[in-house]
Amino acid sequence: MNQSNSTLLLVFGPPAMADSGQLICILAGPPAAVDLVKPFCKGVMGCENIDFAGQIQGKATLLKVIGNTFILQMIEALSEGHTLAEKTGLGTDNLHALIEAMFPGPYTAYSNRLKSGDYYKRDEPLFAVDLAQKDAKHALDLAASTGVKMRAVELANAHLADVKEYMGTKGDIASIYGAVRQESGLKFENQ
C-alpha cells in the first residue's frame, strides 16, 4: 500500500489491555483506508477509537506522544503519594483505598503495581525505562520547540534516569516509585 492510502494505527494500553480487548485505538489516514481497519479495532482489540481520518497523520502521533506524558505524570503523582503516605504513617493501603474509589482504571492498576512491588520484581518490564525515556524526550523536544514548559515530565524523566542507573534495562516506567522512594530516604524496594 503506498503512503497516500496507508492507515496509521496507534494504541494506548499495556499487554493486559490488549489481551482483554481494552486498548484505545488511534486511527489516521485516508477515510476509506481507516474504514477498512475500524472493524478490527473497537469491539475486537480495543474499547474505543479516536478517529483522525482525513486529517494529517502527524496529529495522531502528537496525540500518542502527549498522551504518554499523562501516563508518566500519573505514575509520578502515584509514586509521590505512596511515598508520602508511607512516610507520614497514613499507610499505602489507606491511600490505595482512596485511589480505588476515586480513580478506577489505570490509577488503580498502577497503584497496585506500586503496592505489590511489581515495579522492581519483574524479569521483563511492561513499559521499559528506555522506551519511557524516549517518549519523555519526544514530548520535551516538542514542548521546547513550541515554547511550552512540561515541568512534571522533566521531573518524571529525571526519575527515569535514576531508574535506569539503579535497574538498567530491567527498569519499568512504574519503577519511578523506587526512585521517588530513594530520593525521600527510603529503600528503592518497598518490601
- What distance in Å separates the CA atoms of residue 52 and residue 58, rounded to the nearest whole number? 10
Distance CA(115)–CA(129), nearest Å, equals 19
Place of cell 503506498: 2
Catalytic residues: 64
Q: Where are the alpha helices (DSSP H) in the chain?
A: 15-19, 31-37, 57-88, 92-102, 106-116, 118-121, 129-146, 151-167, 176-183
